[in-house]
Structure 1
C-alpha cells in the first residue's frame, strides 16, 4: 500500500536548536497512528511542517497518490488538499449553536457574493445532521457551543474539520482535560474515523494511547526513536531512558 503522507529527511533549526533532525515518517491512506515523545521531541514542529505553518530547512513532504509536494503550498492550500489539524485547545464559535458551527465549516464557495446570498439547502442541512451524528452531538444541535463540556467542544471541532472531508487528520492531545467517559467516547470516535482516512494522534497520556490500540511512533530530539506497537516501543531501552523513565 502506498503512503498517503511521506515525510523524507526533514530538518528544522530555530536559533541553532535543531527541533527536527533528519525525520522520516509515513502513514497510509487508512490508518490510525499515535505519536508520542517527551517535551521538545519535535511533535508540534512536525505538525507545523506538515500543515505549512513552518518550512523545513531540508527534506521533502509529499501527500496523496500523485505525491504532491506540500512544501510548495501555503496553509490554506494544504487544508484544501485534504489535511485537517485539531489543536489541543478547542476553537469553536462559542456564541453560535452546534448546528451553526458545523454549517459554517461546510465546503462552500467563498466568493463574497456567494457568501452574501448563501442559504442553507436540504443537502447542507442533511450534511450537518450527519456530522453531528458522527461526532456524537445529535442531541446538542440547538445548544450554544459555549455551553458544551470540554469534551463536547473537542468533538464539535473534529466535526468542523470533517465538514471539509479531510483525508488526513492531525489531532493534538485530544484526551487532555476530559472526563473518563469523554475519553472513552473520544477513543471510539478516533478509531471509527480511521476506518476511512488517516488519523495521527499526538498524545502524552499512555493509557489513552493504549486504548487506541494502534501503531506508535516515538519521537526524540526531532527524530524517530522507535516505532511499532505500544508494547514493543515501551520495552525499548532507549524509549525507557528518554521518555518513560523520566
Structure 2
C-alpha cells in the first residue's frame, strides 16, 4: 500500500535531551490514526518536524506518491503541499464572522497583487457554505466567531484548514474542554474527514480515542513503543508501565 507520510529513522536532540529517538512509522492516504503517550514522549516534536517547525538531526520524512522530502521544504511549502495542523487552542478571527474566517482561509493565489485585487466569486461563497456545513456550522455563517462556544471554534478552525485542501490533518487534543455533545460531534467529524484524507489525532483522553475506533501509535521517549488497536496497546505491559500506570493491571 502506498503511504502518504513515511517517517524513517528520525532523531532530534535539544540541549542534550533526545526528544525523538530513531522514530519510524507511516500514515496511509485515507487513514485515521491516534497518537498517544506520556508527557515528553515526543508527540508535539513529531508534529513540529512534519510541519517544518523543527529540523531533525537525522532521518527522512517522505511525502506523497512522489516521495518528496519534507525536510527540504519550508513551513509554507509544506502547508501548500497539503499538510495542515490544528493546535490545541483554536485560533480564529473573533471579530469576523464564520463566513469571513472561512473565506480568508480559501486556497487561492497569495501574492501581494493577487491579494490586493482578489474578490470572492459565487463559487467561493458556495465553497464557504459547503465547508461550514461539513464541520457543523451551516447555521452560523453570519455569527461572529467570538460568539461561538469553545467546541464550535475548534470546528471552525478545522473548516479553515479544510479550505486549504490538505491531504493530511494533524489535530492536537481536539476533545479538550468540549462538552459531551461537542465531543460526539467532533468524533463523527474526524471519522468522516478520514474517509478522504489522512487524519492524525494526538490525544490524552482514552475514551475519546476509543470512540475514534482507529489504529493507535504509542510514543515513549521519542520512539514507537506499541501500535495497533486501543485494546491491543492498552494490554501491552510496557504501555501500562510507562503510560497507563501499574494500577490498571
Q: TM-score, normalised by structure 1?
A: 0.99
Match of 1:226 in 2: 226
- In the aligned structure 2, how far is the partner of 1:48 from the partner of 1:114? 30
Structure 2 partner of 1:9: 9
- Alignment-derived partner of residue 103 in structure 1: 103
RMSD value, Cα: 0.6
Match of 2:72 in 1: 72
1:245: which partner in 2? 245
Work out whether 1:132 is the aligned partner of 2:135: no
Output the CA distance in 1 between the equivalents of 2:76 and 2:61: 16
Q: Cα deviations across residues 147-187 of structure 1 (Å, max 9, x unaligned)? A: 00000000000000000100000000000000000000000
- Which aligned pairs between 1:41-56 and structure 2 lie closer than 5 A? 41-56=41-56
Q: Judge which range, 118-127 or 190-199, deviates more.
A: 118-127
Return the alpha-carbon distance in structure 2 between the equivalents of residues 167 and 108 of structure 1.
16
Q: How far is the alpha carbon of 1:119 from its aligned partner?
A: 1.4
Q: Secondary structure at the match of 1:3?
A: coil
Quote how far apart the aligned CAs of 1:192 are: 0.1
- Structure 1: how far apart are the matches of 2:3 and 2:111? 34
Tell me, which stretches of 5 or more residues in structure 2 are unaligned?
Answer: none
Structure 1: distance between partners of 2:120 and 2:215: 41
| Deviation of the 1:110 alpha carbon | 1.2
The residue number in structure 1 matching 2:31 is: 31
Deviations 1:104-138 (A, max 9, x none): 00011112222122211011000000000100000
2:4 partner SS: strand
How far 1:25 moved relative to its partner?
1.3
SS of residue paired to 1:138: coil
TM-score (norm 2): 0.98
- Structure 1 residues 174-183 or 104-113, which shifts more? 104-113
For residue 236 of structure 1, what is the aligned residue in structure 2?
A: 236
In the alignment, structure 1 segments of 5+ residues that lack a partner are: none
Following TM superposition, the consecutive aligned residue runs of length 4 or more in structure 1 with deviations greater than 4 angstroms are none
What corresponds to 1:91 in structure 2? 91
Aligned equivalents of 2:162, 2:37: Cα separation in 1: 27
Query: What count of residue pairs does the alignment treat as equivalent?
Result: 246
CA distance in structure 2 between the aligned counterparts of 1:51 and 1:113, rounded to whole angstroms:
27
